[in-house]
A = this chain, B = another copy of it.
Amino acid sequence: MSLTSKPSEGIAARQVARPVPLRETVYEAILELIITGELKPGQHLVEKELAEALGVSRQPVREALQWLQKDEWVDLRPGYGAFVHSPTPEEADQLLGVRTLLEAESARLAAVNSTKDGVAELKQIYKSGLAALKADDVEAVVAANAELHAKITEMSGNKVLNELAAQINRRVRWYHTPVAKSRGKQAWDEHSALIDAIAKKDGDTASRLMREHTEHTRKSYLDHSAED
């Protein structure tokens, strides 16, 4: 077979072979287990077991656990081990509060620094999300939502803010998924108004809309968790 020429991929779109560090693969694997609930909050994660289950040695597992701790997915008790983080309602509330803060500021900056291309991309994502919504594809809606917010923070032009928001949003994902269903339609209407404000470079309005938007999500989560 001809592995030399792949004209469609450009010359160096991606280095042909990028050996993904094993620790990253392990990180993703464990994170998936946590999010899907296969590993329950409070559960003791034993390095040896994880290593055997994933077919690697303890070393990559250890490093992955350190990364997971940094993102608050697990709690690491020195001398004992790693435990799946137990999210409390209080923490969820605080997390969503901080998220509101960061997202609102991102929206403001994104509006001020908005470009035609950027807005076009936002509208594109909006459209795909709308389609997913109509198709009742919850998975795709959540993904589009994440993409939209990520794009807005990226458009803020503040890399530090972008990084921080991404960090928070990863953690929010834990709580977000269950409420996504019930809030789908309204959330996307709000997105539409938000994109308009950004297109008009109206920072204050964009900030306000985003604040309201994330506050709605927060309320929605609180109501939802109260049901249980």
A residues adjacent to B (C-beta < 8 A): 2, 19-21, 62-63, 66-67, 70, 78-79, 90-91, 94-95, 97-98, 101-102, 105, 158-161, 164, 168
Contacts and interface: CB of A to CB of B under 8 A. Distances in A.
Nearest to A162: B94
Nearest to A167: B164
A62 to B, nearest CB: 7
B63 A19 contact: no
Given A70-B67, A101-B105, A21 B94 contact: no
B2 A90 contact: yes
When all copies of this chain in the complex are counted, the total is: 2
A113 to B, nearest CB: 12
A94 B158 contact: yes
Contacts of A91: 159-160
The interface residues of chain A, by DSSP majority, are classed as helix
A227 to B, nearest CB: 21
9 contacts: A63-B63, A67-B70, A94-B158, A94-B160, A94-B161, A98-B161, A101-B101, A101-B102, A160-B168
B161 A79 contact: no
A164 B98 contact: yes
A208 to B, nearest CB: 16
A186 to B, nearest CB: 26
Among A102, A105, A160, A161, chain B packs the most CB atoms within 10 A around the CB of A160
Contacts of A20: 78
A159 B111 CA distance: 30
Given A67-B66, A67-B70, A79-B19, A94 B159 contact: yes
A102 B90 CA distance: 19
Contacts of A67: 66, 70
B161 A164 contact: no
A168 B102 CA distance: 13
Given A2-B90, A19-B79, A78-B21, A98 B66 contact: no
B160 A98 contact: yes
Given A91-B159, A97-B158, A98-B160, 19 more contacts: A2-B90, A19-B78, A20-B78, A21-B79, A62-B63, A66-B67, A70-B70, A91-B160, A94-B158, A94-B160, A94-B161, A97-B160, A98-B158, A98-B161, A98-B164, A101-B101, A101-B102, A160-B168, A164-B164
